[in-house]
Amino acid sequence: MNKFTKAGIIGSVIIAVVLTIFALSNNANLSKQSNTEQNSIQNLSSTTSKLKVAASFFPLYEFARNVGGNKTEVYSFLPIGEEPHEWEPSIQQIEELKGTKLFIYNGAGMESYVSKFMESGEFQNMTFVKATDGITLLKADSAEDDKEILAQGGMDPHVWNDPIFAEQEVTNIKNAMQKADPANTQYYENNANAYITKLSALDNSIKTGLSNCKKDTFVSFHNAFNYFSNRYSIHDVWISGMAPEADVPPQDIQRVIQIAKDKDVKVIFSEDLVDPRLANTLADEVGAQVLVLSPLEGINQTEQQEGKTYLDKWYENLHNLRTALECQ
């Protein structure tokens, strides 16, 4: 009996201890849970107090993110891995614009949907910020034979591939953020200055990197480097037109092959977001290798996971251009 009673008491104590531990851990879980809830409430309130900014595609997203820092919530309207030319948003993507205060877009015919947004009158609380304001645009080379480009005004939109024009886009974005959120004027000013310093460093690296080269002509995949080539006094011959996914007529392919042979081109550039087969075929034809020259219109999923930036991508471009132009 005694044994039994003793065992009974020990058993009860064990049960009580287990129950207490269970209750304590439950309490701990509860308090953990309420902390989490509190955190998410705090996050929500800090998120809602941030300026919500949509940028139409990758380079503008990059510029806006750098200027806006932690005072803004910046997202890319175009899913990052997609090609922006001729892209149209879905109803759901338009729905996600709710609460967005600034919509930053490139203009110059890059985002055909923007004029429809403006005309619809459905975005009265959103300010449209055209990042190319104040930049003297070039006429699109292929404007005469491309109805799509003509309909968009016939201009070349690819200003972001020139770091100096990119600086102007950054300044326009900064001005818009300051106007929308005057309490953080100095913050946006400092961030914009810091990023412009990085763009100036890129400009210097390109100038130095391309200062002593055997060749002055490169073959790009689509016509995205006019501003860039003008800035650094080099020439590009493109395979596709203003958009990378357009059909390329056989006579255009012949033209590129001829120039590539005349100029003894040893590198044909492909792009990160397009099918490389056409570039491969051309390269075989002229006995060249294929490298990537990104038009910075987006990045792929792996690069997104790695956190690749506009600047990272431009330094990679510079490396490949130096190979193509045989620079010292």
Shortest reach from residue 274's CB to Zn ion, in Å: 10
At closest approach, how far in Å is the CB of 209 from Zn ion?
23
Secondary structure, 3-state, 21-41: HHHHHHHHHHHHHHHHHHHHH
Q: In angstroms, what is the minimal distance from the CB of 192 to Zn ion?
A: 25
Query: Which x/- pattern, by CB under 5 A, does the window 283-302 give for Zn ion?
Result: ------------x-------
- Rounded Cα distance between 215 and 277, Å, is 25
The residues pairing with 291 across neighbouring beta strands, listed in sequence order, are 269
Query: In terms of CB distance, is 155 or 224 closer to Zn ion?
Result: 224
Q: Does 54 bind Zn ion (CB under 5 A)?
A: no
Q: How far apart are CB 73 and Zn ion at their closest, in Å?
A: 27
State the nearest-atom distance from the C-beta of 239 to Zn ion, in Å. Answer: 13
Interacting stretch for Zn ion, rule CB under 5 A, among 95-103, 126-134, 216-224, 265-273?
A: 216-224
Residue nearer to Zn ion on the CB measure, 68 or 109: 109
Residues 6+ apart with CB under 8 A from 300: 81, 272, 273
Write b or e for each residue in 35-63: b if 16 or more Cβ atoms lie within 10 A of its Cβ, otherwise e: eeeeeeeeeeeeeeeebbbbbbbbbbbbb
Task: Kindly tell me which of 207 and 235 has the beta carbon lying closer to Zn ion.
Answer: 235
Per CB under 5 A, contacts with Zn ion among 220-239 are 224
Show the binding pattern over residues 96-135: x = contacts Zn ion (CB under 5 A), - = does not.
----------------------------------------
Residue closer to Zn ion, measured from CB, 109 or 295: 295
- CB of 84 within 8 A of CB of 271? no
Whose CB is nearest to Zn ion? 224
Residue 298 to residue 272: CA distance in whole angstroms = 8
How many residues touch Zn ion under the rule CB under 5 A: the total is 2
Q: In angstroms, give the least distance from the CB of 144 to Zn ion.
A: 18
187 or 269: whose CB is closer to Zn ion?
269
Burial track 154-193 (b if 16+ CB lie within 10 A, e otherwise): bbbbbbbbbbebbbbbbbbbbbbbbebbeebeebbeebbe
Query: Within 13 Å of residue 322, how many CA atoms lie on the same side as its CB?
Result: 16
Scanning 67-75, 92-100, 218-226, 269-277 for contacts with Zn ion by CB under 5 A, the matching segment is: 218-226
User: What are the strands of the beta sheet with 235-238, ordered from one edge?
Assistant: 235-238, 217-220, 267-270, 289-292
Q: Which two structure tokens, joined as six digits, stand for 68?
A: 């806006």
Residue 226 Cβ vs Zn ion, minimum distance, rounded to whole Å? 10
Binding residues (CB under 5 A) for Zn ion: these are 224, 295
